[in-house]
Amino acid sequence: MTDFKKKYAQLRDDLLTQGDRVVDVTLRAVECYFERDEAKASEVVAGDEVIDRVDVDIERASIRLLELGSTDEHEIRSVLTVVKINNELERIADGAVSIAEHLLPAGTEYDLPRTYRVMANSVIGMVRDASNAMRERGSVLAQRVLAFDDTVDQFKAQLMEEAQSKLANGEYDVPWAMSLLNLTRTLERIADHCTNICEQLIYLETGKVVRHLPSGWSEPTLPD
């Protein structure tokens, strides 16, 4: 095994471990939100420090790996993919922190529609599947994540319209509505980061790109 391959294997292992951290922090952020648990929320925020540190470590290790001077196109693309996915993982963790920092106000009598939890669980599933696709190098699983993004977008549109309407007619107060709006926006952004990860995985493993169309994503195709 070449020096490049050894160091790349370690880099990839570090990225997969970071993916596991991000799945865990996203799950805990959603749990603390619906439980309105400020102690758990503080743990989520504090745990982001480790993810930020590892993010920098992976980026620096990627630079050192490129400095070895490999001229193999797939090897270079593999490192660049690690850099891009690493950035997306860090942004997902930032989203988890945002959810933990905007808990539902305590002491209110509003009922939280079940659709919010359904949307949150769907996004957690996307984060898990994106992480598993990284580990398995699975383009089929990656395509499943891409296909589900439209569903999350539909959840977001429905829930934001509902929250804004209830705020306008006085059914929700401002803190409650703002917390719900932040949740839906943040979950949608997390889903977008998952799709970005999976687009990179598909390109790395198949050489195909995902075409962006007004109607949504299309089957991966070879670049022109």
Q: What is the pLDDT of residues 8-46, one digit of tens each?
A: 999 999 999 999 999 999 999 999 999 999 999 999 999
- The three-state DSSP-derived secondary structure of 130-158 is HHHHHHHCCHHHHHHHHHHHHHHHHHHHH
For residue range 63-113, list pLDDT tens digits in order. 999 999 888 888 898 999 999 999 999 999 999 999 999 998 877 777 788
Q: Return the number of other C-beta atoms located less than 10 Å from residue 161's C-beta.
A: 10
pLDDT of residue 104: 84
Query: Could you tell me which residue, 196 or 221, shows the higher pLDDT?
Result: 196
pLDDT of residue 132: 95
pLDDT of residue 138: 75
The percentage of residues in the chain with a pLDDT greater than 90, rounded to a whole number, is 66
Residue 139 in this model has a pLDDT that exceeds 90: no
| In the chain, where the domains are located | 3-217
Read off the pLDDT band of 213 (50, 70, 90).
Answer: very low
pLDDT of residue 214: 45
Sign of CA dihedral 165, 168, 170, 173: positive
pLDDT of residue 134: 94
- Give CA–CA dist 46/52, Å, rounded: 11
pLDDT of residue 44: 96
Tell me the average pLDDT of the chain: 89
Amino acid identity, position 65: L
CB of 37 within 8 A of CB of 104? Answer: no
pLDDT of residue 32: 95
Angle subtended by helix axes 139-168 and 114-136, to nearest 10: 160
**Strand boundaries in the chain, DSSP class E:** 212-213, 216-217
Class of domain 3-217: mainly alpha
SS3 213: strand
Query: Model's pTM, two decimal places?
Result: 0.90
Residue 212 in this model has a pLDDT that exceeds 80: no
pLDDT of residue 222: 57
- What is the pairing mode between strands 216-217 and 212-213? antiparallel
pLDDT of residue 108: 72
Residue among 129, 122, 146 at smallest CA distance from 203: 146
For residue range 172-192, list pLDDT tens digits in order. 889 888 999 999 999 999 999
CB of 209 within 8 A of CB of 217? Answer: no
CB of 119 within 8 A of CB of 48? Answer: no
